[in-house]
Amino acid sequence: MPWFNKLGAALLLVSIVIPAHTSAAAPTPQKKKEYLSESEADRIRDAGATGPRIVLFTKFASDRIKKLQYEFAHMDPADQKRSERLNGLINSYAGCIDDAADLIDIGIEKQQDIREGVKALQAGLKEFLPYLQGLAADGLERETYKINLDDAIEATQDAGKEVERASKDLAPPPVRRKPS
């Protein structure tokens, strides 16, 4: 009977150690953001620094807003996938804004120069928020995208708070003195 207990203990140990070892050994590939195209993801990856990444996410959010404006300007009542496209654009906009706000936090934490990114996001938010609020108030077929639109408005407002915090927390740029 004692050999049975030792065998059971050994099997239990092997069943725990092997899966833990194989999952730790295999590197997990970097997940592609599902709302970014392949070229957009490449541009984000190639940007390297945090500040330029914030600028890119702001540009991509602006692109989503322009596509939304196009969709609303060219509404086709017979289009069966309109609601799906609108929700997809709103979700991808919110993802871009969330990632830009997250990068602001990272930039502040690591004391990186993110001034240009903060300025770009601040300028973009001044355009994005009124447009989204206008859609919430009187957009066509609001009921089909209302939940996602509310999330996008909340993400935009949260990003605005991050921009304000970053504007206060960022140290002024160094003053260069002329050699005497």
**For position 139, what pLDDT does the model report?**
83
Residue-level pLDDT at 172: 63
Domain-located, residue 100: yes
H-helix or E-strand spanning residue 171? none
The answer to the question of residue 89 being in a domain is yes
pLDDT at res. 29: 44
- Expressed as residue numbers, the domain containing 158 is 38-169
Residue 179 in domain: no
Termini Cα distance of the chain: 90
Residue 8 forms part of a structural domain? no
Specify if 93 maps to a domain.
yes
> In this structure, is residue 107 part of a structural domain?
yes
Q: Tell me if 30 is assigned to some domain.
A: no
- What is the predicted pLDDT for the residue at 131? 95
Q: How far is CA 55 from CA 32, 63, 135, 164, in A?
A: 19, 12, 25, 16
- The owner of tokens 């997940």 is 31
The number of folded domains in the chain is 1
Residue 156 identity (one-letter amino acid): T
Asked if 36 contacts 61 with a C-beta cutoff of 8 angstroms, the reply is no
Q: Is 11 domain-assigned?
A: no
Which pTM value belongs to this model?
0.76
Give the pLDDT confidence of 48-89 residue by residue, as tens digits. Answer: 899 999 999 999 999 999 999 999 999 887 888 989 999 999
State the 10-residue block means of pLDDT for the chain, 180 residues long.
52 48 44 80 92 95 96 86 93 96 92 91 95 91 92 96 86 70
Q: What is the pLDDT of residue 6?
A: 56
